């Protein structure tokens, strides 16, 4: 009999943001400014004392739902072989089949799946990327957190300077303001600030209709952008495909999709040049790897969304062009930091994900649940 899962601990954590942030969804009146991020952490311990940590997250809404769903299905993992990750992922999906295989239902399961992969890599004495099979030991990285629409332009430029000096290899700023002159002013200033060739991306956060998107994307052609992100509604795969054919600048999208099946539709429509899957949103690493295989077959570049502590490993294992998004928001949750050098994020050589949970993470925990026998 091999090692088995003995104990599972769940934590619902609320991380406060130092400053409320707003992207185009706020300026168009569809959302309120974001003041906090909710996290679901799963800590899985085996009978032999091995331990894995995983997490999922929710912005603005959904955190309590993720925690509640995870607490309902967690007990089914007790006594199982932690190495059987694919089987356990399917088992968890069936445990909550009545609420579907997308959205909150799979995002809650992502915390378990990530924890099982972290555990498996630790048992092997390998970094997660090494367990999967890396193609690089560092991944091109760009910063997003310094370029939100609510941030005054002088501060956005200062943030960009700080990021470049810290070794970041690309800068992304938010666009999609109802007044298009605001977008042009900020983008023009940023391009002049960074120079003609420094990697620069923009993100409209789904706030343009098709007519506006084609108009703005054609105007943006002159700025030599790496990509234009989410110019249309995330589920308008046909519209994204038409747009991608009509302009020279690459299109990036996919972060809002919450299942492998939704990514299949996106890829089949040839809706983007850069695919942006999010492991916690699609159900964990097991599901992310399925998406990555499809992306590779379609010849797409990969730029996973958020959660750099997970995605740095996954982007390193992608054969094609890959970027990883740098957000320092999650730093207080962990004792370790992601290293940046020469425009790239260095893949940790510590076993598993290479992170341990901080005392601050414990202090921000608002609910816990425990299953099985603690070690």
Average pLDDT, the chain: 95
Q: Tell me the CA end-to-end span of the chain in Å, nearest whole number.
A: 19
On whether residue 354 sits in a domain, the answer given is no
pLDDT tens digits, 88-126: 999 999 888 888 788 888 999 999 999 999 999 999 999
Residues of the chain with pLDDT under 70: 1, 375
Domain count across the chain: 2
The reply to whether 32 belongs to the active site is: no
The percentage of residues in the chain with a pLDDT greater than 70, rounded to a whole number, is 99
Q: Please tell me whether residues 154 and 135 are part of one structural domain.
A: yes
DSSP characters over 29-48: TSSPPEEEEEEEEEEEEETT
| Number of alpha carbons in the 13 Å side-chain half-sphere of residue 157 | 13
Give the residue numbers spanning the domain of 255: 129-346
- Here the CATH number for the domain that contains residue 163 is 3.20.20.120
| Active-site residue (options: 174, 237, 240, 263) | 174
pLDDT (0 to 100) of residue 1: 59
pLDDT tens digits, 38-75: 999 999 999 999 999 999 999 988 899 999 999 999 99
| Active-site residue (options: 12, 50, 305, 326) | 305
pLDDT (0 to 100) of residue 99: 85
The reply to whether 174 belongs to the active site is: yes
On whether residue 351 sits in a domain, the answer given is no
- Here the CATH number for the domain that contains residue 96 is 3.30.390.10
Could you tell me the pTM of the whole model?
0.95
């Amino acid at each position: 009999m091999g090692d088995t899962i003995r104990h599972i601990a769940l934590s619902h954590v609320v991380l406060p943001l130092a400053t409320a942030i707003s992207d185009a969804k706020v300026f168009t009146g569809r959302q309120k400014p974001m003041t906090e991020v909710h996290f679901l952490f799963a800590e899985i311990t085996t009978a032999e004392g091995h331990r894995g940590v995983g997490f999922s997250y929710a912005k603005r809404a959904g955190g309590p739902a993720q925690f509640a769903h995870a607490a309902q299905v967690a007990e089914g993992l007790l006594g199982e072989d932690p190495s059987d990750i694919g089987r356990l992922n399917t088992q968890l999906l069936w445990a909550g089949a009545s609420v579907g295989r997308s959205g909150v239902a799979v995002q809650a399961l992502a915390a378990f799946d990530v924890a099982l992969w972290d555990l498996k890599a630790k048992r092997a004495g390998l970094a997660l990327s090494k367990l999967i099979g890396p193609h690089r030991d560092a991944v091109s990285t760009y910063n997003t957190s310094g370029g939100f629409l609510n941030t005054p332009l002088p501060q956005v430029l200062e943030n960009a300077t700080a990021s470049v000096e810290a070794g970041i290899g690309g800068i992304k700023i938010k666009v999609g303001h109802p007044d298009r002159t605001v977008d042009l002013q900020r983008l023009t200033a940023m391009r002049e600030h960074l120079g003609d060739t420094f990697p620069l991306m923009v993100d409209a956060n789904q706030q343009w209709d098709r007519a506006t998107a084609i108009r703005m994307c054609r105007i943006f052609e002159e700025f030599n952008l790496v990509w234009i992100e989410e110019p249309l509604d995330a589920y308008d795969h046909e519209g994204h495909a038409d747009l991608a054919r009509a302009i020279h600048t690459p299109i990036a999208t996919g972060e809002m999709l919450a299942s492998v099946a939704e990514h299949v539709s996106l890829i089949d429509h040839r809706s983007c040049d850069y695919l942006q899957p999010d492991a916690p949103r699609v159900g964990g690493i097991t599901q992310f790897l399925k998406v990555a295989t499809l992306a590779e077959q379609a010849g797409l570049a990969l730029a996973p969304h958020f959660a750099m502590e997970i995605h740095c490993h996954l982007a390193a294992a992608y054969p094609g062009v890959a970027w990883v998004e740098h957000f320092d928001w999650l730093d207080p949750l962990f004792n370790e930091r992601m290293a940046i050098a020469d425009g790239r994020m260095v893949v940790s050589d510590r076993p598993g994900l290479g992170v341990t949970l901080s005392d601050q993470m414990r202090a921000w925990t608002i609910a816990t649940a425990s299953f099985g026998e603690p070690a």
